[in-house]
Structures are given as structure tokens and as C-alpha cells.
Amino acid sequence: MLATKGYAVMKAKNPLQPFSFERREVGPHDVLIKISHCGICHSDIHQALDEWGGSIFPMVPGHEIIGTVTQVGSAVKQFRVSDRAGVGCFVDSCRTCAACREGLEQYCETGMLLTYSGRDKNGQTTQGGYSTQIVVDEHYVLRIPATLSPAGAAPLLCAGITTYSPLRHWGVGKYHKLAVVGLGGLGHMAVKIATALGTEVTVFSTSEGKRKDAERLGATDFAVTSNPETFTTFHRHFDYILDTVSAPHDYNAYLNLLKTDGTMILVGAPDQPTPLAPFPLILNRRRIAGSVIGGIRETQELLDFCAKHEIESDVEVIPIHQVNEAYERVLKGDVRFRFVIDLNSLA
């Protein structure tokens, strides 16, 4: 077993603390990755607080992992020692169901194996990227283009793919008007990616202070949600809405901003349900949909797309001992736009 250092939440709602644990030995199909950077996703916080239920403790969170390959198993074909590598939200799936065969492992019929807070086929709890190293089957490891910086690339592995996948699935592009609701980690990636796809983007935010950032990221318009006029100004204006908000809020007001046949896509995952009124949907044949992360093939496509379009996440890099403070700041919306942990601070 491989002795590994990390930071863990020992039980729900506790702060993170130093934690030592063991990774499995490198099997024939595995690569060992020395982790240099890991993003802090709001999903890490939901799960550390056990807001969704089902969290497994002790939990080493982190699913926006970037590092360098330091060892490969005897049957590994796609990676060599010293390659840059990335790991996202899952590290295995059944590989045989229709979804897996289509490259949609995130919709695996028996469930993807989460990078942390999952149980692998040997009954071992998976542990994530707030740690020095990780062992992953090469089929679930991404190649990181050389032009991307490690810290700026880390959030692409969750925030990036979670916004890219629905935009591609629904064919959002030129000639479409898109609203991005919530300008956090996911939201800022959505603005950059949709802009690169040629889409006209309006940001809906609770924070007036993010107006300039929205413009800098590529949005053509910005609306503050506390202003009631916002919801009349943009009535029946959008083809698509991508909702990235982490807390419960009223979806119905946004549905009225869609044109006929418009689609509102939920990626934000609040822990509480929100009532849905039928009329905004019925009257204009509108749709509400959801999407979770993206498959391995599509994540690689996104990484290559970001390299081509020179897109990285806007990050604030922190040493691991500031992780609890970073969680507090994410909950207050006080981050531009993703915290990334420098794991060298743990070595």
C-alpha cells in the first residue's frame, strides 16, 4: 500500500484536518499521479457538509486533480512517467453498459465510481485530490495539453466539463442567446466556453460587484437578480439558460425569460427542492433539463478545446492549510473564480 498524506473531513460539518491514509498499489492498468494542484468545487463543500446525503467519512475531497505521472502499471499504454495527467469526478464505471460504451460514463447504469466518497469494487473508500498522490486506471485519466498551466487547468476537470457538456449536447452556439445564472466557478467557465462557441451571453448574478468581471470574461450583458426590472427586461429573450446556482432559488422566474421552445438546463445542485409552476412551461412549450459533468472522451475534447482557445480558469492558488478559510469564502461568494490548492504545500 502507498502511504499518502492529505486533508480530510472526519465527520459531517467538521473542518478539514491533516490525514494520513493508504492508496492501493499500482496495478497493471493503473497510473500513479503525484498531485500538484486540485481545485475546490462547491460540490466538495456540499459533500463535506453531507448536504446531499450519502457522504462517506473520513473524506478527502477534491475532483479537479492535476499532476505528473510517477509510475505506470505493466499494461498501461497511454501514459508514461513524467507525463502531465488529470483526474476529474470519477475513477471507474462498469465499462459494459450502453452509457459506458457510448463514452457517457457519468450516466453508467450501475453508477460511476466517484473520485472520493465512493466505494470501489473491493469495498475500499475512494479518496480525492486534497492529497499528495492518487492511483487511477489509465482509462479514467486525462491528458493535459502542455500550453495550459496546471492551476488554471485543474478546474476544467469539473467546472469546465460540467458547463461544456450541456452546451455541446444542446448545440448552443452562434445565433443563440444564453443566460448564465450564478457567476461562480461553474458560471465563469460557462461564460468563457459559450463565448468561444460564438454564443451571446448574459450573466444573472446576485452580486453587482461581478459586473466588470462578467464583461471581461466575455458576457455582452449583465443583470442583477435583486432588481425586479431584470425579469421584465429579458422576458422571452433567451434560447437557453444554464443555471449554476448552489443554493435553492426560484426557477419559475427564469423560465419566463425563455423564448418558445427554450430550454433551462440545471447544473447547480442545491440540497433543497424548489416548487415548479406548470404555466411557464406549458404556455411556451418550454423545457427544464439537467446535466452532470461529462464523460472521459468529452472531457478530453474540452481540454483540447481550451488549449486551442487559450481558456483557463481564473484561479486563486492557496496552500492547503488555508482550505477551511477558502470553504468559508466560497460560501460567501468571495472568490474570483476558483480556489486551487497547491499540493506542494503538503509535501
| 100 belongs to the binding site for Zn ion (CB under 5 A) | yes
C-alpha cell at 15: 473542518
- Comparing CA positions, the residue from 229, 287, 278, 230 lying closest to residue 258 is 287
The CA-atom distances, in angstroms, between 151 and each of 36, 87, 334 are: 8, 13, 19
| 43 belongs to the binding site for Zn ion (CB under 5 A) | yes
Dihedral sign for Cα atoms in the order 65, 201, 276, 224: positive
| 224 belongs to the binding site for ligand NAP (CB under 6 A) | no
| 341 belongs to the binding site for Zn ion (CB under 5 A) | no
Cell numbers 488529470: residue: 86
| Selected binder of ligand NAP within 293, 315, 323, 346 (CB under 6 A) | 293
Ramachandran class of 46: left when φ > 0, alpha when ψ lies in -120 to 50, beta otherwise = alpha
Q: Give CA 282 to chain center in angstroms.
A: 31
Mark 44-83 with x for binding to Zn ion (rule: CB under 5 A) and - for no binding.
Answer: ----------------------------------------
| 182 belongs to the binding site for ligand NAP (CB under 6 A) | yes
Closest approach of Cβ 64 to Zn ion, in Å? 7
For ligand NAP, give the closer residue by CB, 83 or 301: 301
For Zn ion, give the closer residue by CB, 94 or 307: 94
Closest approach of Cβ 23 to ligand NAP, in Å? 24
| 205 belongs to the binding site for ligand NAP (CB under 6 A) | yes
108 binds, among Zn ion, ligand NAP, none (CB under 5 to 8 A by kind): Zn ion
The CA-atom distances, in angstroms, between 123 and each of 61, 97, 113, 118, 241 are: 18, 21, 11, 9, 40
End-to-end Cα distance, the chain = 18
Residues near ligand NAP (CB under 6 A) are: 41-43, 46, 158-159, 162, 182-187, 205-207, 210, 244-247, 249, 267-269, 291-293, 330, 333
